[in-house]
């Protein structure tokens, strides 16, 4: 069951007791999402924290030239949202789209704030989730300014070992900020070593 995957994800931080699990169960909505279906589009307000129970999503922005820039991937056991839009109610600057058929659990802002204020475990668990996202973002920025394409690709494989075989090369190249053709060269160079 998707809700059990969510409970298991919290077990890594502060495990929930039976009462807390029931409270969480009442505050999430399960949705089945088709491949290529959006759960957030640019200019919409992000209204949910989304837990991926099954499947895979990408968060991306499209520049003025129509080029897609992947910012994040989220697969089973991970969270995805547009944090600025969620907290500020500003229009989103990104899209979130399913790469595969997926099952998600979503928590609306009022329900999330209720959980934060009525049980410190939820506040702590979600804080750790956001801290982990922040660490990933810092690492990504450091790689972008100081690493070669090959180093970024190897880091991607380490960060997403469960995804690099599942994702098309075009998606990985977009995430790395290189062309698919250059990614092919990077892979060939690594294979020769």
Taking residue 123's Cβ as centre, other Cβ atoms within 10 Å add up to 16
- Across 25-39, 100-114, 143-157, least confident range: 143-157
Q: Cα dist. 156→57, 101, 183 in Å?
A: 16, 23, 12
Instruction: Summarize the confidence of residues 91-113 as an average pLDDT.
Output: 97
- Confidence check: pLDDT of 81 > 90: yes
Instruction: Summarize the confidence of residues 181-186 as an average pLDDT.
Output: 93
CATH code for the domain defined by 2-118: 2.60.120.10
Q: What is the pLDDT of residues 18-76, one digit of tens each?
A: 999 999 999 999 999 999 999 999 999 999 999 999 999 999 999 999 999 999 999 99
Please name the residue that has the structure tokens 């595969």: 100
Identify the top-confidence range among 26-30, 66-70, 144-148, 165-169.
26-30
Q: Can you give the residue ranges of every domain in the chain?
A: 2-118
pLDDT of residue 144: 87
Average pLDDT over the chain, rounded to whole?
94
């Amino acid at each position: 069951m998707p809700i059990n995957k969510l409970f298991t994800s919290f077990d890594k931080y502060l495990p929930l007791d039976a009462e807390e699990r029931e409270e969480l169960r009442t505050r999430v909505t399960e949705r089945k999402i088709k491949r290529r279906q959006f759960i957030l589009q640019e200019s919409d307000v992000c209204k949910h924290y989304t837990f991926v129970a099954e499947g895979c999503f990408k968060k991306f922005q499209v520049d003025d030239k129509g080029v897609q820039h992947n910012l994040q991937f989220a697969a089973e056991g991970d969270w995805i949202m547009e944090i600025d839009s969620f907290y500020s109610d500003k229009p989103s600057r990104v899209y979130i789209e399913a790469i595969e058929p997926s099952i998600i659990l979503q928590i609306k802002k009022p329900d999330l704030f209720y959980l934060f204020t009525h049980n410190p475990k939820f506040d702590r668990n979600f804080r750790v989730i956001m801290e982990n996202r922040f660490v990933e973002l810092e690492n990504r920025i450091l790689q972008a300014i100081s690493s070669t394409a090959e180093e970024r690709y190897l880091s991607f494989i380490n960060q997403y070992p469960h995804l690099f075989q599942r994702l098309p090369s075009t998606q990985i190249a977009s995430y790395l900020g290189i062309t698919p053709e250059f990614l092919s060269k990077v892979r060939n160079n690594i294979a020769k070593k």
